[in-house]
């Protein structure tokens, strides 16, 4: 998929953790730890717990967003460093900072304890993907679609099933008036990504946009409502038109007026459409919150 000059799809695998040797240890660990903490995972091919720890440790380091670097050292091939550090059993992980060993542990730990270990040596671990999503959303809100698309592209290059990034990219196409491309991007959200709330919201936004595509002139809808306040279809269509123009509170109010006047109209269609608006806008949106309060007041009075 593409947006401007940005290409989406075909995710790449993360780089493999570097293997260090006795000869490269000074450069790859001692010198490198002057810039950032470096973890050394001492392991051996015959060590079962080492094979369990390695992937969990690599995942935690990757989630640090560059705050920590990790290398691996096979003690069968390079026993000298482990001997100098007094390592007698593996797996063993030693953290180096400013050229010195500062912390470590022996044995296989669960992911939560590994994260705590990393935070001891590098501070709180942020969520780099979350930060990137927030940056992309901010760029989109400022009208910088190219920057937003580039950030979503970067996320999807590492995780092509990231639901929030796919939803964000779909919304960029939707905002640009390209419904077909928006639907094509969202179709890539399969499996667990399909259940992401951001994907559900984007899907609702696309459906609402399709409904409002052929509504005609909003001013004509207003004239119809003024001529006949009971013309609920005109008010319903007007709500869709308002939502398409970003006037969320007014759109909700129009549907709530229908519900107040005739709850059963069009098989409860006004309420169902209002719920689709809430799904599109998100639970925390002020228009959703206000609309839910008014809806509750009408349904349970």
Q: Does 68 qualify as catalytic in the annotation?
A: no
User: For residues 117-128, b (16+ Cβ closer than 10 Å) or e, as one string?
Assistant: bbeebbeebeeb
Could you read off the pLDDT of 68-112 as tens digits, one per residue? 999 999 999 999 999 888 888 899 999 999 989 988 899 988 888
Q: Are 204 and 252 within one domain? A: no
Q: Are 224 and 292 within one domain? A: yes
Residue written as token pair 């730990």: 109
CATH number of the CATH domain containing 253: 1.25.40.10
pLDDT beyond 80 at 238? yes
Q: Does 199 qualify as catalytic in the annotation?
A: no
Taking the model in full, what pTM does it have? Answer: 0.53
Catalytic residue among 1, 38, 40, 47: 47
Number of domains into which the chain is organized: 3
Q: Is position 232 within any domain?
A: yes
Give the Cα separation of 114 and 38 in Å (integer).
14
**92-97 sheet: strands from edge to edge:** 18-19, 69-74, 38-43, 92-97, 100-106
CATH number of the CATH domain containing 38: 3.40.30.10
Q: Are 150 and 171 within one domain? A: yes
Average pLDDT in the 269-289 region? 88
Report the alpha-carbon angle 52-57-62, nearest 5. 140
Catalytic residue among 29, 39, 50, 170: 50
Q: What is the pLDDT of residue 67?
A: 84
Residue written as token pair 């709850």: 263
Among residues 211, 238, 255, the one where a domain terminates is 211
Tell me the range of 190-194, 197-201, 220-224, 262-266 where mean pLDDT is highest. 262-266
Task: Give the domain extent around 108.
Answer: 18-122
Give the DSSP H/E element, type plus range, for residue 100.
strand 100-106
Q: Are 45 and 109 within one domain? A: yes
Among residues 122, 154, 185, the one where a domain terminates is 122
Give the Cα separation of 102 and 120 in Å (integer).
10
Report the alpha-carbon angle 155-161-166, nearest 5. 65
Q: Is position 226 within any domain?
A: yes
Could you read off the pLDDT of 100-131 as tens digits, one per residue? 998 889 998 888 888 888 888 887 766 677 87
């Amino acid at each position: 998929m593409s947006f401007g000059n940005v290409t989406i799809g075909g995710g790449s695998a993360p780089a493999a953790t570097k293997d260090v040797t006795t000869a490269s240890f000074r450069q790859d660990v001692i010198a490198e730890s002057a810039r950032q903490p470096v973890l050394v995972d001492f392991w051996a091919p015959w060590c079962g717990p080492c094979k369990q720890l390695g992937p969990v440790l690599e995942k935690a380091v990757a989630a640090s967003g560059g705050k920590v670097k990790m290398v691996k050292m096979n003690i069968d091939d390079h026993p000298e460093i482990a001997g100098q550090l007094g390592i007698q059993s593996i797996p063993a992980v030693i953290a180096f900072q400013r050229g010195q060993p500062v912390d470590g542990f022996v044995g296989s730990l669960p992911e939560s304890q590994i994260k705590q270990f990393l935070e001891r040596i590098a501070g709180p671990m942020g969520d780099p993907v979350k930060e990137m999503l927030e940056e992309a959303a901010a760029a989109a809100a400022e009208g910088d679609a190219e920057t937003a698309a580039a950030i979503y592209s970067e996320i999807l290059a590492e995780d092509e099933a990231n639901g929030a990034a796919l939803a964000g990219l779909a919304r960029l196409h939707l905002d640009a008036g390209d419904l077909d491309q928006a639907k094509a991007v969202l179709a890539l959200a399969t499996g667990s990504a399909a259940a992401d709330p951001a994907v559900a919201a984007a899907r609702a936004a696309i459906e609402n946009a399709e409904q409002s595509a052929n509504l005609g002139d909003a001013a004509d809808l207003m004239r119809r409502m003024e001529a006949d306040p009971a013309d609920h279809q005109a008010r319903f269509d007007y709500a869709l038109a308002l939502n398409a123009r970003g006037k969320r509170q007014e759109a909700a109010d129009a549907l709530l007026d229908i519900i107040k006047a005739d709850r059963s109209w069009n098989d409860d269609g006004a309420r169902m459409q209002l719920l689709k608006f809430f799904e599109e806008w998100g639970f925390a949106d002020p228009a959703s919150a206000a609309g839910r309060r008014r809806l509750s007041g009408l349904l349970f009075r």
